[in-house]
A and B are shown apart, each in its own frame.
Chain A
Amino acid sequence: MTAPPRRIHHHRFDAVIVGAGGAGLRAAIETAGKCRTAVLSKLHPTRSHTGAAQGGMCAALANVEEDSWEWHAFDTVKGGDFLVDQPAAEIMCREAVDAVVELEHLGLPFNRTPDGRIDQRRFGGHTRNHGEAPVKRACYAADRTGHLILHTLYQQCLARDVVFFDEFQVLDAVFEGTPRRLAGVVAYELASGDLHVFSASAALFATGGFGRMFKVSSNAHTLTGDGPALLWRRGIPLQDMEFFQFHPTGIHKLGILLSEAARGEGGILRNRDGERFMERYAPTVKDLAPRDMVSRAMLSEIRQSKGCGPEGDHLHLDLTHLPAEQIDEKLPDITEFVKTYLGLDTKTDLIPIAPTAHYAMGGIPTNVDTEVVIDGLGTTIPGLYAAGECACVSVHGANRLGTNSLLDIVVFGRRAGARMVKFVAQGDAPPPLDDRAAAATVAALNALVTSPGTENVAAIRSDLQAEMTMNASVFRTQESLDHALGVLRTLRQRYDDVGVADPSRAFNYELTEAMELGYLLDLAEALLVAAAARTESRGAHFRDDFPKRDDEQWRIHSLAVRGADTSITLAERPVVGGSYLPVERKY
């Protein structure tokens, strides 16, 4: 069919923020009133997936138990299996207290202690005094902390008259000059099918994760890695792509997240014998071990025929021993999910759970000031920033601790905003872009719409998800990864034959899903290449054929680089150490 006419509109701003979740909104609060900023999201901001985060946001407030940011930094480094850049972790953990307090000042309704201060609870991997015992560090608001952070930040953006372009999906970044610098972004307006070119000195990418490359995921359907993928296509490397976290307690088959807070409140994981199996895998912290360890433990139990159910393919989360009032007060949303989707009662029933694809530790490489970095030397591209899950600083290393993501997005969202203000104030804006900036995007969209191809986007995506889950998720081998790379090649061929049948301009989700599938294929390939190359196990990346951590050869960040011929090579970015020397990660 013929391509519909698409108008190209032009806008000029000092800064553009792509993505309106926690990181994007916190950055927008920072730039408000200081430089002309546009926030672009493919969703209405309050639909962002930050709103699904349940458990909490960690900071060493020490409101309930003795604590220090230094212990928090140690836990973060160890939780990340020593791939974390220690100065970055220290910055995040040191700024955490102010970040939480500031959120409260902005209105966040945290749960409170009896004397009215922000309440804190235990969470996986967070300990006092370098692993001595679990510590109450997670600040929370029932089990909907993310929802409240998202809405509070959005409300504060409204208060500051932040300019939003809702349902504008950014599909390209534009650079100019040699060496290149950012000149703007190109967005597709869902309501009209038109293109919008935003000329700007600075752009922050805060587009979240890409769990939708897996079959069972806690992620929204819209988490397709748009930011990392479009920058990847513009020659920006991607760091640590092999590290993808599987959260232990997703509802079996559905993947819907049941917060780690359930275990923080005392919930226990059991196998088919009713055994609290985590006692064997992590004697000290048991069910509150880091997520990658718990997910592996669960799948090991399944492999040893100790899984639950007729097919032995899941485990149980047991909250039945908790007082009913505690469940009502602290875990109401989880109770609601379990009732809605399983018809079960958290107070009386064992809940079927299995690991679910949850969080991308890897992504767009940045330094601690959120500037995008393109090599192991720290070379930046002026005007280009990234923050939140789509970025890789790296504060989470090979595995992220729970409650560190809501912290990450607020700390680095703020830093990104502050950095962009400074950058814009330097002056020297790039020349405004013209229609040519949108040419590649228009061509890509029209190619999909005019293609006579008959391949089905959903079928290709489903095959990708099945393959990635089978061969590139919690347990990997050279063989499984090679198989996945082979399947990916055929999926790409099929993708070249996709034709979008929906001819309309407005709200053409078939077209945007076709673009998003292209992104998932690109990111999956980067993940697979990086995973196949890393011949060790570390954090969330576990190889049955290389089960040990190899600090001598592999204590480095991977940088996947896409060549002009679309082949992928791997470069390195050093891990910045500090006072914590790698030790065996035991809990």
Chain B
Amino acid sequence: MADYRIEIRRFDPERDEAPHWESYAVSAEPGDRLLDVLHQIKWYRDSTLSFRRSCAHGVCGSDAMVINGANALACTVMMSDLGPRVRIEPLRGLPVKRDLVVDMEPFYEQYRSVKPWLRAGPPPSSGRERVQSPPDRARFDDTTKCILCAACTTSCPVFWGGGSYIGPAAIVGAHRFLFDSRDEAGAERMEILDSRSGAWGCRTAFNCTEACPRGIKVTEAIAQVKRRRFSP
């Protein structure tokens, strides 16, 4: 068991004038996740603490938040990797609805704007699957991993600046199809991506790559989209 001081940026628009810090002293086992500590606080100390979570093992993307200044999923951060003082805040750049719950709608809107679905020609007359070679499959494997947690986009300084940049996650979502050999809508996709609000909004800050809990090489994916303009 080890002791921690957990400081959480709280805000309940129904009762609070403004966001403020609240602090909790907790004990945790080395095998505990930060999410387990959040549960400990909510379930046994302060039931008003609000945060999204579901799978508790890093695949659903519900519990992205700012932990000691950096974006991460609360369920994949181990207490043993944290120092005795832990600061937790909601994701940046999205409106705070309550405590660690942010309005994700702008983020989902960015994702939808790239029309993230396969647009392919008619299916093979064989009635069987389209053929795709293993190298073709591997080409876009990285960007299939995205769980739409928003850690990348909300760590991006261009996104923070406001404006129409669609953000890293949306570009990852588009990359997944742009480089899928079965997709035939490359030209239309590039119309959206080959613009300042698309891939060229990226300033190669690399915050996104560092933030991604799935280890996706986000900046690399955006760079590949940029290069696609020159070799379609």
Per-position contact with B for A451-486: 1 when CB-CB < 8 Å, else 0? 000001111000000000000000000000000000
Which chain A residue lies CB-closest to B33?
A341
Residue A243 CB within 8 A of the other chain? no
Across the interface, B127 reaches (CB within 8 A) one of A101, A156, A257, A502, namely A101
Is A284 an interface residue when CB atoms closer than 8 A count as contact?
Answer: no
Q: How far is the CB of A452 from chain B (nearest CB, A)?
A: 15
Given contact pairs A115-B131, A116-B133, A510-B47, enumerate 6 new A-B contacts (beta carbons under 8 Å).
A43-B62, A112-B132, A155-B118, A221-B53, A506-B14, A510-B42
Question: For window 71-95 of chain B, which residues contact chain A by CB distance below 8 Å?
Answer: 76, 78
- B189 at interface (Cβ–Cβ under 8 A)? no
- Give A459 to B99 CA distance when docked, in angstroms: 23
- In the complex the two chains form, what is the Cα distance from A502 to B147 in whole Å? 30
Which of B54, B78, B134, B215 is in CB contact (< 8 Å) with A221? B54
Residue contact B54 to A155, C-beta cutoff 8 Å:
no
15 contacts between A and B (CB under 8 A): A52-B57, A115-B131, A116-B132, A116-B133, A117-B131, A147-B145, A147-B147, A254-B31, A340-B76, A501-B48, A502-B48, A503-B15, A504-B98, A507-B98, A510-B47
Q: Does A105 contact B (CB under 8 A)?
A: yes
Tell me if B47 and A502 are in contact (CB < 8 A): yes
In the bound complex, residues from chain B placing their C-beta under 8 Å from that of A404 are none
Which chain A residues border B31 with CB–CB below 8 Å?
Answer: 253-254, 341
Q: Which of B60, B98, B115 contacts A506 (CB 8 A)?
A: B98
Bound CA–CA A106/B31 (angstroms): 40
Does A367 have its Cβ within 8 Å of any Cβ on chain B? no
Docked Cα-Cα span, A114 to B13, in Å, equals 57
- Number of residues of chain A lying within 8 A (CB) of chain B: 63
Residues of B with C-beta under 8 A to A504: 12, 14-15, 48, 98
Distance A142 CA – B142 CA, assembled complex (angstroms): 11
- The contact string, 1 if C-beta is below 8 Å from chain B, for chain A 502-521, is 11111111100000000000
**A51 touching B117, Cβ below 8 Å:** no
Interface residue B167 (Cβ < 8 Å from any Cβ of A): no
Taking the closest CB of chain B, its distance from the CB of A398, in whole angstroms, is 27
B123 sits at the interface (CB 8 A): yes
Give chain A residues whose Cβ lies under 8 Å from the Cβ of B140.
Answer: 109
B138-170 interface (Cβ within 8 A of A): 140-141, 144-148
A446 in the interface (beta carbon within 8 A)? no
Tell whether, in the assembled complex, residue B134 and residue A458 are in contact, meaning their CB atoms are under 8 Å apart.
Answer: no
With most chain A CB atoms within 10 A of its CB, the pick from B42, B57, B120 is: B57
Neighbouring B residues of A105 by C-beta, 8 Å: 120, 123, 129-130
A49-87 contact mask (Cβ, 8 Å, vs B): 1 or 0: 101100000000000000000000000000000000000
Q: Spell out A's residues near B (CB within 8 Å).
A: 43-44, 46-49, 51-52, 100-101, 104-107, 109-118, 141-142, 144, 147-148, 151-152, 155-156, 158-159, 191, 220-222, 253-254, 256-257, 333, 336-337, 340-341, 456-459, 500-510
Give complex CA distance A253, B59 in Å.
19
Which B residues touch A144, using CB under 8 A? 59, 145
Contacts of A110 in B (CB 8 A): 129, 137
Contact of B55 among A51, A159, A456 (CB under 8 A): A51
Picked from A43, A100, A112, the residue with its CB within 8 Å of the CB of B137 is A112
Closest to A256 in B: B57
B217 lies within 8 A of chain A by Cβ? no
Contact B59–A109 (Cβ < 8 Å): no
Do the beta carbons of B97 and A52 come within 8 Å of each other?
no
0/1 interface trace, chain B 21-53, chain A, CB 8 Å (1 if under) = 000000000010100000100111001101111
Judged by a CB distance under 8 angstroms, whether B70 is at the interface is: no
Please provide the 8 A-B residue pairs with the shortest distance between their CB atoms, ordered closest to farther. A107-B118, A458-B43, A116-B131, A155-B117, A159-B117, A220-B54, A104-B129, A510-B47
A147 and B12 contact, CB distance less than 8 A: no
Complex contacts, A159 vs chain B, CB 8 Å: 115, 117
Contact assessment for B117 and A158 in the assembled complex, using a CB-CB cutoff below 8 Å: yes
For the complex, give the distance between the alpha carbons of A114 and B140 in Å. Answer: 17
Contacts of B215 in A (CB 8 A): 336
Whether, in the assembled complex, B201 has its beta carbon less than 8 Å from a beta carbon of chain A, the answer is no
Q: How far is the CA of A52 from the CA of B55 in the complex (A)?
A: 7
Report the bound CA distance from A142 to B138 in whole Å: 11
Closest chain B residue to A252 by CB distance? B31
Q: A47 and B97 in contact (CB under 8 A), knowing A105-B130, A159-B117? A: no
Q: How far in angstroms is the closest Cβ of chain A from B129?
A: 4
B182 within 8 A of A: yes
A47 to B120, CA, bound (A): 27
Q: Kindly provide the distance from the CB of A45 to the nearest chain B CB, expressed in whole angstroms.
A: 10
A155 to B140, CA, bound (A): 16
Contact A191/B97 with A504-B15, A509-B50, A510-B48 known, Cβ cut-off 8 Å: yes
Question: In whole angstroms, how far apart are the Cα atoms of A149 and B128 in the complex?
Answer: 18
CA distance A501 to B148 in the complex (A): 32
Contacts of B104 in A (CB 8 A): 44
Residue of B nearest to A510 (CB): B47
- Given A104-B130, A221-B53, A507-B97, check contact A52 B60 (CB 8 Å): yes
